[in-house]
A = this chain, B = another copy of it.
């Protein structure tokens, strides 16, 4: 039995290594690779993914899992080993149901869809993208059929790929609770006159870069374990706990990179503090996209837009951009970074309107999966919801239904994790505050070690041992809930 367990762990270590290599290939492609290398890279990535999939779905893994059932039953359910066997069984059963032909077809469909989407977006031409989207949805539905076993709703299957063991019904309940208060908040706050013109102007990229380095140094990172590079669409990646790679985009006309750096720092810190002793095992990886996002949103918003942080850091910002900010006092600046202005796209949304972008996509995706909308009608449905939820008129499909990469990449089921994470970030922050009586003073004095350590101990160290909900319960002693987030928004925006 011990031998079978060692063999399983050795196999899983290899699969984990290969998954990290895939992440590095993707990071390299988005930051370093010469453009003409795209063709080679597609082959290389497909080969590593295929090899990883074959290693993991090998019938030998299934036999080892069968052999290990008595061991699993004899262990404490919370133990590392029981969690590893249980998680591996769950992953394995899902993976073996997907024929490699279907995987290959999806890889091909999304690879082919990407340039079609890029062009369609640039030309605001949804009909040219429609056939590619139809193919992707067709394959996604086939995927759902293959692994739907026991799911209450078809969309559950897709959601589970990003937020495991979380049902559509649970998310729907959460979002239904959020929606009316958010709509009300937006209606009230959009009427406020807030000056944020100083957030746009001339922000030289070299100074943005120095500032980004300052921020991650202040938050705390080991320079021998992290790097930060420019890219088109910022993301965080990691080829291991001590090989954290965050990215940002130094738009020369905005301060965006500052907040995106804080956001990606949160992702980076999470991977940096994952449990070392489970490093090459599935249980030692990140729990879910929602938990990941709770970490990035916490550093971006709960820390990065807070008064204590800016009381300390604003003079540094003013010194960096005196032409822009010398005449803007802290109060005006803080109001500016909290302006509520309904916009066309999530990545530019303020904290209050953010959720509506996510709900819109969550609802449309369920309609797609349940066949309640014809794909050709998506632009109209999108634009109607944008108007209904945010009072925003979509000028063309490039700024509407074609606005981001998710669908062309086959990422259907992903979007709700942005709001799940945002809601969870407030619950986690409140829990940290209960334990760390001086948290706000620490933020104000630039002492982030207690917060980093608290997150490490209560969230990061759990890795993927438990479901996202269980992880949140262990970290906060509460379940995912709308109220703390709504309270936080009302308090931040001074709304009764």
Are the CB atoms of B40 and A241 closer together than 8 Å?
A: yes
Q: Interface with B: A181-189, A217-225, A433-441, which one?
A: A217-225
Please judge, given known A-B contacts A24-B25, A225-B34, A227-B34, whether A39 and B242 are in contact too, CB under 8 Å: yes
Interface residues of A, dominant DSSP:
helix
Are the CB atoms of B224 and A17 closer together than 8 Å?
A: no
Chain B residue, CB-CB nearest to A18:
B47
Residues of B within 8 A of A17 (CB): 43-44, 47-48
Residues of B within 8 A of A280 (CB): 43
Please judge, given known A-B contacts A240-B37, A243-B40, whether A227 and B48 are in contact too, CB under 8 Å: no
Q: Which one of B14, B32, B243 contacts A51 once the chains associate, using CB atoms below 8 Å?
A: B14
Does any Cβ of B come within 8 Å of A41's Cβ? Answer: yes
Residues of B within 8 A of A21 (CB): 21, 25, 44, 47-48
Residue-wise, chain A 233-263 has the 8 Å CB interface mask toward B (1 for contact) of 0000001111110000000000000000000
Does any Cβ of B come within 8 Å of A118's Cβ? Answer: no
**Within A15-34, which residues are at the interface with B (CB < 8 Å)?**
17-18, 20-21, 24-25, 28, 32-34
Does any Cβ of B come within 8 Å of A374's Cβ? Answer: no
Residues of B within 8 A of A239 (CB): 33, 37, 40-41, 44
Residues of B within 8 A of A210 (CB): none
Rounded to whole angstroms, the CA-CA distance of A14 and B46 in the bound complex is 9
Rounded to whole angstroms, the CA-CA distance of A329 and B50 in the bound complex is 60
Does any Cβ of B come within 8 Å of A35's Cβ? Answer: yes
How many copies of this protein are present in the complex? 2
Does any Cβ of B come within 8 Å of A330's Cβ? Answer: no
CB distance from A403 to the nearest CB of B (A): 25
CB distance from A53 to the nearest CB of B (A): 12
Does any Cβ of B come within 8 Å of A55's Cβ? Answer: yes
Does any Cβ of B come within 8 Å of A2's Cβ? Answer: no
Residues of B within 8 A of A40 (CB): 20, 239-243, 279
Please judge, given known A-B contacts A32-B32, A34-B227, A36-B225, whether A14 and B47 are in contact too, CB under 8 Å: yes
Rounded to whole angstroms, the CA-CA distance of A20 and B226 in the bound complex is 25
Residues of B within 8 A of A47 (CB): 13-14, 17-18, 21
Are the CB atoms of A34 and B223 closer together than 8 Å?
A: yes
Chain B residue, CB-CB nearest to A31:
B32
A interface residues, Cβ below 8 angstroms from B: 13-14, 17-18, 20-21, 24-25, 28, 32-37, 39-41, 43-44, 47-48, 50-51, 55, 222-227, 239-244, 279-280
Supplied contacts A17-B48, A34-B243, 10 more A-B pairs, CB within 8 Å:
A14-B50, A18-B44, A20-B40, A24-B28, A36-B224, A37-B225, A37-B239, A37-B243, A39-B240, A41-B243
15 contacts between A and B (CB under 8 A): A13-B43, A14-B47, A14-B51, A18-B47, A18-B51, A20-B44, A21-B25, A24-B24, A24-B44, A32-B32, A33-B243, A34-B226, A37-B239, A37-B242, A51-B51
